[in-house]
Amino acid sequence: MKRHKLLPLTETMHYILLAVREPLHGYAIMQKVERMSDGQVRIAAGTLYGAIENLLKAGWIALLPSEDPRRKVYRITEEGLQILEAEQQRLQHILSLYEGSGDHEEV
């Protein structure tokens, strides 16, 4: 199977997918990412909406019906959750290599 062009996830996409495990609109996503990253990651509006467009096209997030037509609300899809899980496993493997517990050959 061919790997998706958006993989591995960028830091921004990781944070957005993690943020929209609950329904959120764009500005709330920006605020949540900043909180989750302890202020280390601040996503500009242009970056956010470009990433959201890519995540929507990939089917990893969905646009939800909103009571306020001016606010678009997004939520992660089942496929998006699967992508997050796969990326978590990939990153855990990389971290295990830092810890010396990974299965690798000596050079």
CA dist list (Å): 61 to 20, 58, 102, 106 = 8, 8, 32, 41
Residue with tokens 């493997």: 93
Q: Give CA–CA dist 17/24, Å, rounded.
A: 11
What does the angle CA 81 – CA 24 – CA 11 come to, to the nearest 5 degrees? 55
Confidence of residue 107 (pLDDT cuts 50, 70, 90): very low
Report which of residues 66 and 11 the model is more confident about.
11
pLDDT of residue 68: 84
- For the whole model, what pTM was predicted? 0.86
pLDDT at 33 over 90: yes
pLDDT of residue 105: 58
